[in-house]
Every structure is written in C-alpha cells, then in structure tokens.
Structure 1
Amino acid sequence: MSESDKKWACEYCTYENYPSAIKCTMCRGPKPFDNIYRIHGDKTAQPVDAGGSIDNKSKAKCHCNSCAYVNTCTSCLICNPLSENNIQEHMQHPRISNTDLTQSVRNSSQSSALINLENSRKTSQSKWICQMCTYENWPKSTKCAMCATVNNQRPQSCGLIMSSPERNLDNINQDDRYQNSIIETSQNNLETDHKLRHLRRNADWNWLNACVGVIEGDPNPVEAYLSSGGDPARTLTASECVLLNRNSAFDVGHTLVHLAIRFQREDLLAVLLSQIEGSGSGAKRVPSYVAPDIAADIRRHFATTLRQRKGSFPCHYVAEFPNFTLPAEVDTLPLTIQEQLMSELLDKDVQEELEGADVAVINWATGPGGSSRLHALWNRSAGDCLLDSVMQATWGVFDRENVLRRALAETLMHAGHIFYPRWKEYESSHASFLQYSLEETQWEEDWSSLVTIAAQPGASLEQLHIFALAHILRRPIIVYGVKIVKSFRGEALGPARFEGVYLPLLWDHSFCTRCPIALGYTRGHFSALVPVEPLLSARPRASLLPLVDRDRKPLPIHFLTEAELGREEAILHQWMDVSETENGILVAQQSWHKRPLLVAQMCEEWLNHYRRLVQMTSAPFFRPVPIQDYSSEGDTDCE
C-alpha cells in the first residue's frame, strides 16, 4: 500500500483510522497535522510549524471563516472542514481538482453529521422527565407526550430556542450511511410519539389504573373498575403494556388475578376471585380483610405458640386451643344487613353443595334436639385451602405466611419414622380391599412424595396431612365432605376419601384437648365450618357436631390399626365428649371458649362495618319520602 493509503494512528488512543477520517473514530481526537495533507494525495506537503505557517510556498493559503486560522485550501486544521462559503473561494485555486473538492465536501458532511450527533446527544441529555409517568420529553414540548402532564420544570424566562435534532439533520448529506441512520432514528422517535399520543387518547384508563392499583396494593382503582362493569378476566394487550411502561411488572396476556398473585395482594385477589368464580355478589369481606393489621398480629401470635416436642417423637404442637365462631351480634342485625353479611362472609357454592338434597352432609339434623347449624366460611383458592381452613376454624385468619405449612413439613420430616408405619398399614388395608399390593420401594416413593408436597406452598394436600395437622393442633378434626367428587359438568370423577374423623392417635389423650374443629370438603376444596354463638339468654354448654351421616352410619375414623378396628365408638369417647341427642344422633360437643383478645378485636372491627350500614339506613340519615294527596282545584305554581 502507498503511504497515502495507510491508516493513521491516533495520538491519544492509538486507534488506527482510515486516511479520509479527520477525527479519531474511537476518542474523537483530531488527526495529526503531518497527515492532514494526505487527504488530497499531496506527498510534497510540509507539516505545519508551531506558528501555524506553511513552508511550501506553492500552497495557497486561506483564512477559515469560522476561526480565522491560516489553512491550506483543503480544510481548517483547528475547527471544522471547509464550510460552504469557503468552497466557492477555493474553486478558483489551480491546485484543487474537482475530485479533491468533492472529497473535502464529503469529509465536511461527515464531520457535520458527527457534530450534529454530539448536539443531539447534548439535547437528549437536557430532556425533561415527567414527574407523573417518568417519560423523557423533548425540551421544546410543553406537555408530556405520554400522559399530557404540563411541564412545570421549564424556565419561566428564557429567550433561547433549543435546536431540534430533526432540524439539524435535514442539512446532512443523504449519501452518508451514518447520517442516514441518524435521520431514520429521529423519524422513528417522531412516529413513536405520534403512536403513543394516539394510544393514550383511546386507552381505557379505568382498566390501566386498576392494573397499577393491584401492583401498588391500592383497592380504590380496582373497585372503581369493577363497579363500572369492568371484566375481571380482561387481559393486557401489547399496546397497553407500552402505555404502562413497566416491562418488569406487566406482560401481555396478564389479568388482574395474575398481577395479584405475582405481587402477593391477597386482599385484592379475594375480591377478584369472588367476581370470577361467582362465589357471591360483590367483594368478600371476611374479618381478616377488614382488620388486616390485627390479623397480622394474630398470625405472629400463633407462630409464638408453636413448639416442637423433644425426644423420640419430634412433632410440632400448639400451646393454645381457640375456636372461631361467629359473634352472637350477627343475629341482632336487621334482616337485610344479615343477608349482606352472610353473602360477603360465606361461600354460597360450598354451603349449597354441602346442604344439597342429594348429599345433605351438614345441617340435616338442626333444630331442637338436633345438632348445631354450621356455616361454610369463604376461603382462598390458591392451593392452601386446607391450611387456611384450619387457621380459620381456630383463629379466624388465613395461613398467609405459611407458618402452619412449615410446621407440617418439619413434622413429617423429623417425625416421619413415627407416622410412616401407621400410614403404611392404613393404606395397605385399602389396597388389599381393592385387590392390589405395592412393593416396599413403591411405598417409600409415595411417602417421599407426601413429605415433599407438604413443604411446597400451593400444593394440594392429602389425608396424611390432615392426620398430621390433628397432632400439631392436639385436637380432633372432623371433616364433612361429599362422597363422590364431581366435575363442573356434574360428572362423577371418583370417590372422595376425606370425610371422617382424624384423631391425634400418636399422642397421649391427656396431652390433647377434647374440643374438635369441623371442616368441609367439596371438589378438591376445604372450608372452615363454624357455628353462630347463641345469645346469652339461650346459650347452651356447647355446640353439637354429628358423628354420623344422614343415613345414621358412623363417620369413619382414619388411620386406625388392625388392633383398633371394631372399637371405634370407645375410641371416640376416649378422645372427645360424645353424647346422644333427643333424636338419637351421636354428636361430639364443641365447647364454647372465650375469644382471645386479638380475635375479639378483629371481630369487633368487622362488626362495626355492618353497624355503620345499619345507621346509614335508619333515621336521621334515611327518611322515606312522604306520600301526599294533592287536589286538582286551586293548585298554585308553588304547589
């Protein structure tokens, strides 16, 4: 290669640039003076001395219009290449050919593009950020291009008009590929702003505000969206995700339920699920949602009551035995308020299924001389319904922090050698009844699977886990459930084996309480069954839970050994206070206990909500319009 075709090394970063480059591509440093003349192929040119003069007398000299520096007629060594005014002056110089002039103009265009790029970068750095949506706007814009918020950050008195990058780039040579990429980027930004303005004008802001409200935990925009008839199953589109401008939070296809689950908004999730699943009209208003701070204190208190037994049976156990019941003040409310309270508290689908004429699992023997009436509390459907129902039946809250699940998993892990023999014998008897058997490796695999799912939040639990929970609670658990699991279409899927009595058989009966709790099971879902406390004037000693079904067949006792079979009634009397009603129904007594202080405060705040509703519908706030009879004779304009 000839010397004029060789690349020149930058004095600052040693990057080798092409001969036509007048500035370093890497660090923007100027080209050395001794290489400037190689642009025109003049090998006889002499370098510029310290004074700026040129030794070659044959070289024509000219003054740069920008900095008045004495240069050759090719380019200015101090500021920029030839300007448009200098080109006309140097067209008459005999030493400059048309090729040289074209090359100089091209270099001038390239340098102008680079300079305009720097100006655009400076301009972009001076963009103002919207305080409402954090969108970066051009300095000349008076309102945010995203949300139309007025720019309050602009200076009040400023006579300078900042140049627009689009206007500066209009004068760049279109043949330069680097310049074309800049123009294309600017045009795309302009088109993007127009598209965003169009999307903003046509957007459903009630829906978008509801999405933001779920993330921020604000129920007001969510309730406003649902009350206006919004679809809770609506999904986000690509254009709506662009408007929300939070790629880490919003994805295409997500619904409000997805967002509530992802950001653990349990209160809002309950509202959304109640709208989708049809488990009641309007939002659910359980006591733990009305008083969330007190509910959190109850969960923390429950965690302090958990202990772990030392010795050969390292099982977790609780130190307190509360029973959650509905306050007696519920029956004192007006009938319309009672209906609203029950619709916002209970799961009507579960209640109807358990009370159905075909099944009649609960409340089939209520009344004088019968059992107490049970109500199915609404429960979450996120996969932890068994643990939530147990916590509701005892403390009136959900197991949101998975405290009870962790205790269950650690119990099966550390005390599994005690539970495993009884579980295997119980399952083997059912297997032999169905005429099949398993090898020891298969039993171990099934046991390992049960221990594993106990530690996974959201995983469905089995009979063994209810049996272990009875030991953790140190009390009997009675499950009233359907015998046949049906699909949503009413098709029979198979028998359900959850119904029955679960006793803490591995403990000594003196170490446990004789007061049971009741749960309901319907189609893979558990619910807490609680009674309403009667008034003080007619309060019995305890509520009554049937130990037989509607056909007077005894409920099965799960996980009994072969030696214990045949002594079911004696075992029930050993673990619970069992009696017989006037109608001859075998029942277990659930004694009344004074509520813990935190639970009483939570119930009081929950009742205060409905007491305020009673006040709003009674005098002096509500006054019916009197009906008056007017005569057609002598009516005045005032009348």
Structure 2
Amino acid sequence: MTEQKVKWACDYCTFENWPSAIKCTMCRAQRSRGPIITEEPYKTSPDLDPSVEWDPPRTESGTSLLICPDSSARPRVRSSSIAELANKWSCQMCTYLNWPRAIRCTQCLCQRPRTSSPTESPQTSGSNAGCRPGVHSPVDPCEEYNDRNRLNTHHQHWTCTACTYQNLPRTTKCVVCSLPKPNNLEAIELAEPAEPSAIINEQDRARWRGSCSGGQGRRRSPQEEDHVKMDFQRIELAAGAVSKEEQEVDFKKLKQIRNRMRKTDCLFLTACAGVVEGDLAAVEAYKSSGGDIARQLTADEVQLLNRASAFDVGFTLVHLAIRFQRQDMLAILLTEVNQQAAKCIPSMVCPELTEQIRREIAASLHQRKGDFACYFLTDLVTFTLPADIEDLPPAVQEKLFDEVLDRDVQKELEEESPVINWSLELGTRLDSRLYALWNRTAGDCLLDSVLQATWGIYDKDSVLRKTLHDSLHDCSHWFYTRWKEWESWYSQSFGLHFSLREEQWQEDWAFILSLASQPGASLEQTHIFVLAHILRRPIIVYGVKYYKSFRGETLGYTRFQGVYLPLLWEQSFCWKSPIALGYTRGHFSALVAMENDGYDNRGAGANLNTDDDVTVTFLPLVDSERKLLHIHFLSAQEMGNEEQQEKLLREWLDCCVTEGGMLAAMQKSSRRRNHPLVTQMVEKWLDRYRQIRPCASLSDGEEEDDEDE
C-alpha cells in the first residue's frame, strides 16, 4: 500500500482527507488522532473479484471491526454489493462520493451532474483521475448510515451565517468559525441555504480546477463549462461570506477602539470629518477644547473613520483642508499652528493655578434675587501686564511680546484701521498703550477675551457661557425688551423701513438664546450686553467697522464697536472701571495695559487705600475721527443727541477730558488688591523669562568685547 492512498476521515463531516492535511478540507475541523481509512482497506490483492463479498476482519472476541472514526458508536451497515459501491457518483464541487440514489450531494447539497452520453461511465479515469476516484475505490460502509442520519437530522441543525456549516442544535457557537448561534428561529431559517453551499475550500477549488481541466489543449464540454461558471459564482459568494466573517472581526476591533477613546479623540475625529464635509463648527469645537491642531491620524482612527479615499495615516487637519480645498479653514488652521508653536501665555505656564482661578470664578458667581434675577461676579479683577517686563533685556522683551501678544490683531487695529493707540497723547504721555493678547481662534473667543481681560485665563470649562445662558433665560423679558427696541431703532436709522411681526421677533430671539447654550457658537452684540451685567462693569469694544473676507473684500458692517453699559442694574451696584476688547474679522481679543503709576480708584461704592500701587489706563471714548462711540441698547428715553449720550457715559464711567480735549474713561486697577492667584500666576509666568536673562546679558557682553577688540 502506497502512502498516497492512505486517507483520514473527519470526525464532523466524515470527509476523506489526504494524509498531509492537518485540518479537514471540507469543514476545517482539526484532525483527530484516531484510526485512518485506507483507500483500499479491504483488498487482499489487486485482482479482487468485485462479485465476491468481503468479510471484514474480526477481533479476538469474534466481532467484526470497522476501521472508521467512532466505529463503536455507529451501527454497522453492510453494503448490498461492491458493484453498488462502485456506482457512487462524485460531486463536481467537493469530490464527495454520494450513493447512486442521491440527487444532491450529501455534503454540499450541489445538484447531481448529468452524464453527457449513455455510454460515458460515471467514473472516468485518465485525465480526470484526480477529480473522481477510480472504479475499484471502496468506501466506508458506515457512510450509508451517515447519509440517512444527515437526512433525518438536517432540519434540526442550525446553519452558521458566516461559513454555512451545519452545527448540532445543542452547540451555542459554530464549530468552525466560533460565530454565536442566532437567537431566533427566523435567523436560523434565513441562514439555511436554499441553494447549494457557497463555501469552497481553496485547496479543493485549486485541485478541482487543475485536475478537471485535463490537458491544456483539451476543450471543455458544455457540461464542464456550466460547472466552471457555477464555480466562479460560488467563489464570489464565498468571498462575500469571508468578508462578512472579516467584518465581524473588524466590528469587534472597532468596538474596542471606541471604548478606549476619550472625549478629545472623539472631537478630533469629528473635526476631521468636519473638514471633509465643510463643517467649521466641528473644527472650532475641537480647537476650543484645547486640541492639538498638528495632531496626526493613526491607523486605528483611519479604520474607525472608514473612508479610505479621504483619510490617510499621518494626516492632520491642515492636510485634509488642502486635499479638499477648504481655503477658509486652511487660513485659520495655518495661523493656529504657527501661533501654537510659539505662544506662551500665563494660563499655559501655570495649569494648576489656572484651575484654582476657574474654581474661584465659579464660586464668585451669584444670582440676584428679585424680578431681575441676573447672575453677577462679586470680585473686581483687571488683568494688566506686569511693569517688571521693562526690566528685562530688549531681546527677552521682544520674545515675551511675541509669545503673549497677537501681532496680526495688533497690526490690524493700529495700522490698517486706526482703532487703538492712534492718540499720541494717550499712548505716550499718559502711558495708556493697549496690547492685544493672543486668544484662541474659536467660537468662544468673546468669552475667552472677557476672562482674559479680567482674570487672565480662558473660559475652558464654559463657566461663563453657562452663566450667560442662564442669565438670558432667567431675565429673558428684560433683555428681550431692550433688544427689540434697539433693533427697531437701528433698522430705522439706516433707512430700513420695515416692521416684523411678533412671531418673527420671537423666532430671532429664540435663535439668540440658542447661541448662548452652544459651545463654540459665535455670539452677537446682545451677548456682550448681558456680559456687561454679569461683570457689573462697562465693556468697551474697539473693532473694525467692516466685515472682510480673507481676500480683503468688504462684506458688511460689523456693528460691534461701541460701549456696552449694564443699564438694567442700579448705578451704585456697578463698578465704573471698564474693560476693553478688540474685534477683527470675526475674532475678539482682550486689550490690556501695562502697570504704571496712577491715581486712586473710586467705583462700586468702594473706598480704596491711596497707598496702593494703582494703575490708571485712559481708554478713549471717541474714535480716530473724534466722534463719540455708540452706546448700545439704549431705550427710547435714553436716546438723544451727543450731549445726552456723553452725560450718560459720565454717569456710568469715571471719565475725564485730557489736555488735548479728548473724552476718555479711566480703567483703574490695584496691584495689591488684585486677586492673589492671578498675581501668583503672572509672577510664575514672568520667572520663565527672568531665567533666560543671564544668557542674553552674556551674549550682549560678548558682542561688546568683540567690538572693543
């Protein structure tokens, strides 16, 4: 007996496999260590007469022994004749030997092929010897019982939806691919194939095509052509089944990736999708959360986004903006990347103190009892740059200003449209130069700039936004009346003679309320008016007059520049020291001064010690053309000519007239009475530049020595 004739039978599907196979070719089950089946186990010689009935070997006790797996558990079924065994037909798809009376393959349910001619033998030899076994190939006599057993129990088995293997009813997972058993009977019925099985093993498919093709010069018969077409169809179905199984594995992996994701990761993926879809709000939400603009996509994140044509490993938001030609996003992202790489503001240097300051702000917020239940801050804090900056070497000062200021905003407000520092009298003689602090380019820039001008930090936890939202809702009637009256007057003053129905006013007001509750949403003039009431102090906005695109095209009026007074409070309840904000191209920045010697402070009914180091900054209440700044949200009784508006400004602010005849408001802040946490944060930030002072002095000394030589 040669080695190539020795086969082993699978314990699950009884398919006869070649000796070199370690798994079943049909069902991929692991090979057992039981006895094997030989291709000719019952022959005593090559010339065995088929008409002679074979008597199987017997054991010492006299019982017959069947050499097949689990033979002790199966009843012995004797074949009627060897001729009937020889007439078994081989399946064209899986090469399984079926009994002559079977019209479908017992294993794969493939239709029994029809013979091309009556004279053609069902078991051919020669070139197709590899496709069908020879005539004298006997088969295990237990197969007849196996066939009957499959036919009787087929309806009880459940079919795996991934690999179509028929499992026993008691199994909870597929024996082959470990897919869980469907829970309902409908899934089981849908999983059972009405057509022949679509899963074809690669080894069987390759062997079948190689052996059944015969010689290279032999042409296939029409019957074989149909089988070839059927084979390719089954290959496509099999590929679909394999991909479904792979999808199950990918789904588990993606689920694990999602479970490991943090909030920042989700915002980053949303921002990536936002760049592709043109959603700027998603990008701004990621930036406002403190996300890194230069972050790159990983392989897991690309797989999670599941769009290979758009996302690649290593891509950043800038790469995506370039690929999809998002010019507006690209300009913002490139500016953000360049500034993030160089910016260093006090809140970045001291994160622990910054968190303590945020808690202090939350603790100092209270709600006024009564009809006007607006929230307000109990502390008066004004952020100023320390005077110790002037003690640093010029090179270090330049580095400090580059990292803490927004040079682009400073240039636009000073040169392109003279809005700040246009008066030499205020900027030079009175030492009231304003500096534009760098701010995040996000939808929360207004709230960030307000906290920067007061406490020197960002509204990262949206504490101020939540307070703004609650104040608008709790005092909606008060603010709505002021807003409606102001908008009606503004439209008439510009010659827009129209009137809105009350339903339209209500819709516009509902939109303003919704903006306050959405993190990252851009805010309007009404929100600045409410913020002035929360701070209990005036807010002066120095901004450009026109909206401009990135190409410099004028789009319309901005309407932000002017003075916002807390008109709904009593004057005695408010401070007269204002804060200053800058507005440029949809972006707000805090305008702060540097500490200097000034006068005593009066406001909010407080008597401050005159011995304190008081900083006084003169903020002009007129523009570069000496026209009085607009006061927003005045009622019909408060509106009047310029003299009446100037009188109103003098009531709500500490005003003075300079020697040059300019009306200015005095912003007063005391270094000793400033919040200790803010002072400590600024000192730690300044120590960072004091440490590089010796290096700068050493380099200057070396340059002087070189010049002397």
| TM-score bracket, shorter-length normalisation | 0.5 to 0.7
In structure 2, distance between residues paired with 1:174 and 1:284: 68
**What is aligned with 2:356?**
297
- The one-letter code sitting in structure 2 at the alignment partner of 1:506 is L
Q: Distance in 1 between matches of 2:614 and 2:680?
A: 24
User: 1:441 is paired with a residue of what secondary structure?
Assistant: helix
Q: Which residue of the other structure, out of 540, 544, 548, is the alignment partner of 2:622?
A: 548
Q: 1:606 to 1:422 in 2, by over 3 A?
A: same
Query: How many angstroms apart in 2 are the aligned matches of 1:371 and 1:573?
Result: 22
> Is structure 2 residue 667 aligned with structure 1 residue 607?
no
Q: Report the Cα distance in structure 1 between the residues aligned to 2:176 and 2:701, rounded to whole angstroms.
A: 62
The question of 1:592 aligning with 2:669 is answered yes
The offset of 1:298, in angstroms, is 1.1
1:600 positional shift: 1.6
Amino acid aligned to 1:601: Q
User: For residue 85 of structure 2, what is the aligned residue in structure 1?
Assistant: 97
Distance 1:500 1:341 in 2: 30
Distance 1:351 1:541, change over 3 A: closer
**Secondary structure at the counterpart of residue 665 of structure 2:** strand
Distance 1:313 1:556, change over 3 A: same
- Map 1:126-165; keep pairs closer than 5 Å: none
Distance of 2:164 and 2:647 partners within structure 1: 95
Q: Paired residue for 2:311, among 249, 253, 263? A: 253
Match of 2:390 in 1: 331
Instruction: Tell which structure's C-alpha radius of gyration is larger.
Output: 2
2:398 matched to 1:345? no
Contact 2:614 2:668 in 1 (8 A): no
Q: Report Cα offsets for 1:164-194 as digits up to 9, x if no partner.
A: xxxx986898449899899989x99xxxxxx
> In structure 1, which of residues 359, 369, 387 is the aligned counterpart of residue 447 of structure 2?
387
1:51-85 CA distance string (max 9 Å, x none): xxxxxx96632599xxxx96547x4444999xxxx
Shift of 1:315: 0.6
Compute the displacement of 1:293 (Å). 2.1
- How far does the alpha carbon of each residue in 1:422-478 deviate from its partner, in whole angstroms, 9 at most, with x for none? 221111111222222222222222111111111111111111111111001111001
In 2, Cα distance between the equivalents of 1:257 and 1:170?
Answer: 47
**1:371–1:545 CA contact under 8 A, matched in 2:** no
Residue deviations 1:363-422, cap 9 Å, x none? 433345446100111111121111111011111111111111111111111101111222
- Cα distance in 1 between the residues matched to 2:444 and 2:664: 29
**Paired AA for residue 687 in structure 2:** N
Query: Are residues 96 and 517 of structure 1, via their aligned partners in 2, closer, same or farther at CA, if it must alter by over 3 Å?
Result: same
- The residue aligned with 2:96 is 106
Q: Deviations over 1:523-581 (max 9, x none)?
A: 11111000111379997651111111111111111111121123212211211111111
Q: Which residue of 2 is the match for residue 580 of structure 1?
A: 657
Give percent identity, aligned residues only.
Answer: 39
| 1:377 lines up with 2:365 in the alignment | no
Q: How does 1:244-323 map to 2 (within 5 A)?
A: 247=304, 252-253=310-311, 256-257=316-317, 275-277=334-336, 280=339, 282-323=341-382
Of 354-363 and 524-533, the range deviating more from structure 2: 354-363
Shift of the 473–462 alpha-carbon distance from structure 1 to 2, 3 Å rule, reads: same
The TM-score with structure 2 as length reference comes to 0.57
| Structure 2 counterpart of 1:478, from 524, 531, 540 | 540
Change (3 A) 1:531 1:62: farther
Structure 1 residue 462 corresponds to structure 2 residue 524:
yes
Cross-structure match for 2:646: 569
Select which of 609, 613, 631 maps to 1:557.
631
Counterpart-to-counterpart distance in 2, 1:122 and 1:97: 31
1:405 aligns with 2:482: no
Contact 1:370 1:582 in 2 (8 A): no
CA drift of 1:501 comes to 0.7
1:337–1:326 CA distance, 2 compared to 1 (3 A)? same
User: Structure 1 regions of 5+ residues with no counterpart?
Assistant: 1-16, 29-56, 82-89, 116-120, 126-167, 189-210, 218-231, 261-271, 629-639
Aligned length: 474
* TM-score, normalised relative to structure 1: 0.62
Alignment CA distance shift 1:100-1:444 (3 Å): same
Are the aligned partners of 2:655 and 2:666 in contact in 1 as well (CA < 8 Å)? yes
Q: Matches of 1:562 and 1:58 in 2, distance apart?
A: 120
**Which residue of 476, 482, 487 maps to 2:549?**
487
Equivalent residue, structure 2, for 1:162:
none
SS at match of 1:588: strand
Q: 1:296 to 1:257 in 2, by over 3 A?
A: farther
> Contact 1:406–1:455 (CA<8 Å) still a contact in 2?
yes
* Contact 2:615 2:670 (8 Å CA) reproduced: no
Cα distance in 1 for partners of 2:449, 2:559 equals: 18
- Once the two structures are superposed, residues 131-174 of structure 1 have per-residue CA deviations (whole angstroms, 9 ceiling, x without a partner) of xxxxxxxxxxxxxxxxxxxxxxxxxxxxxxxxxxxxx9868984
Contact 2:540 2:564 in 1 (8 A): yes
CA contact (8 A) 2:302 2:311 kept: no
1:493-508 equivalence runs, <5 A: 493-508=555-570
Q: Which amino acid aligns with 2:683?
A: E
Distance 2:436 2:352 in 1: 24
Task: Please give the secondary structure, in 2, of the residue aligned with 1:381.
Answer: coil
Query: Could you report, residue by residue, the CA deviation over 1:320-345 in whole angstroms, capped at 9, with x for unpaired residues?
Result: 11001111121211111111111111
Q: Distance in 2 between matches of 1:422 and 1:94?
A: 105
Question: 556, 564, 581: which is aligned to 1:519?
Answer: 581
Q: Which amino acid aligns with 1:284?
A: K
Look up the SS of the partner of 1:592 in the other structure: strand
Q: Give the 3-state SS of the residue equivalent to 2:343 in structure 1.
A: coil
| 2:276 match | none
In the other structure, the counterpart of 1:61 is: 56
The two structures, once aligned, show a CA RMSD in angstroms of 5.2
Distance in structure 1 (CA, Å) of the matches to 2:97 and 2:293: 60
Q: Could you tell me whether the CA contact under 8 Å between 2:318 and 2:333 is conserved in 1?
A: no
Distance in 1 between the 2:205 and 2:306 partners?
A: 41
Per mean C-alpha deviation after superposition, the further-off stretch among 410-419 and 537-546 is: 537-546
> Is this contact kept in 1: 2:419–2:543, CA < 8 A?
no
Looking at structure 2, the residues matched to 583 and 80 of structure 1 have their Cα atoms a distance apart, in angstroms, of 114
Q: Does 273-282 or 173-182 show the bigger shift? A: 173-182
> CA 1:293–1:257 in 2, change beyond 3 Å: closer, same or farther?
farther
Instruction: For residue 507 of structure 1, report the CA deviation from its aligned partner.
Output: 0.4
Q: Deviations for 1:587-636, whole angstroms, at most 9, x for unmatched residues?
A: 111112233121122212211222222244454999779879xxxxxxxx
Instruction: Tell me the secondary structure at the aligned position of residue 304 of structure 2.
Output: coil
Consecutive unaligned residues in structure 2, runs of 5 or more: 1-11, 18-23, 30-51, 99-105, 109-162, 166-173, 179-200, 210-230, 244-260, 268-291, 321-330, 599-610
Q: In 2 relative to 1, CA 361–79 (structure 1 residues): closer, same or farther, beyond 3 Å? A: farther
Distance, in Å, in 2 between the alignment partners of 1:297 and 1:282 is: 26
**Match in the other structure for 1:161:** none
Q: Deviations over 1:107-135 (max 9, x none)?
A: 79989x999xxxxx99999xxxxxxxxxx
- In structure 2, the CA distance between the partners of 1:419 and 1:105, relative to structure 1 (3 Å rule), is closer
Counterparts of 1:63 and 1:607 in 2: how far apart (Å)? Answer: 100
